[in-house]
């Protein structure tokens, strides 16, 4: 929680402004595609947004700030994402609902000579249950590492750091 020593997540943006903006536009386009895929229930396409040798993790901010990377969800390699996606698309483990992502505050913080770069964005995952209001199911930040394969931007690593401490048990679905 907010205290004198919770700044471990703050990474200043160190790129030249014009370069950071150009990369940000690509990340925004990527995230809009990624979220549209998830929000329309096309989870079987989820692994296509990652490189083969990838990491996907969902962690509470409290743990992340303490550098305890133990996460609620951890997957390594596209094959593991694929298994997960197939399992989810074949199972209806939760009450029907609509998901809607709102992503903002995208920042590209650094770029390596090999073209890999680090980005960050804030997100809200809104949920609407049948005959219910729309609520904030989860809010937090993406901490990403992107690489290129050909023209295509892909995730090498996505760390989902969530603020919301009470999480319903349906977190099997990717964020």
Where along the sequence are the contacts to a second copy (CB under 8 A)? 1-4, 6-7, 9-13, 17, 20-21, 24-26, 28-29, 31-33, 35-37, 39-42, 61, 89, 92, 96-107, 120, 122, 124, 126, 128, 130-136, 138-141, 151, 163-166
Looking at beta carbons only, is 77 or 126 nearer to a second copy? Answer: 126
The alpha carbon torsion through 140, 135, 174, 93 (nearest 10 deg) reads 150
Least Cβ distance, residue 122 to a second copy (angstroms):
6
Looking at beta carbons only, is 77 or 139 nearer to a second copy? Answer: 139
Least Cβ distance, residue 149 to a second copy (angstroms):
14
CA distances to 13, 31, 37, 89, 129 from 96, rounded to whole Å, are: 40, 24, 17, 13, 6
Report the C-alpha gap between 57 and 74 in whole angstroms. 4
Report the C-alpha gap between 49 and 42 in whole angstroms. 12
Least Cβ distance, residue 47 to a second copy (angstroms):
16
Looking at beta carbons only, is 113 or 130 nearer to a second copy? Answer: 130
Looking at beta carbons only, is 77 or 97 nearer to a second copy? Answer: 97
CB contact set of 157 (below 8 Å; sequence gap of 6+): 54, 55, 56, 57, 143, 144, 145
């Amino acid at each position: 929680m907010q205290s004198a020593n919770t700044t471990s997540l703050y990474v200043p943006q160190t790129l030249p402004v014009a370069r950071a903006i150009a990369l940000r536009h690509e990340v925004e386009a990527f995230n809009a595609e990624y979220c549209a895929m998830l929000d329309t229930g096309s989870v079987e396409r989820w692994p296509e947004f990652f490189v083969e040798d990838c990491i996907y993790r969902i962690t509470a901010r409290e743990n992340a700030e303490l550098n305890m990377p133990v996460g609620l969800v951890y997957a390594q390699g596209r094959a593991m994402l694929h298994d997960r996606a197939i399992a989810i698309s074949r199972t209806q483990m939760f009450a029907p609902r609509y998901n809607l992502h709102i992503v903002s505050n995208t920042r590209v913080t650094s770029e390596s000579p090999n073209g890999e770069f680090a980005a960050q964005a804030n997100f809200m995952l809104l949920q609407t249950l049948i005959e219910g209001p729309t609520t904030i199911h989860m809010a937090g930040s993406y901490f990403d590492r992107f690489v290129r394969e050909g023209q295509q931007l892909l995730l090498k690593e996505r760390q989902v750091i969530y603020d919301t401490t009470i999480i319903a048990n349906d977190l099997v679905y990717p964020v």
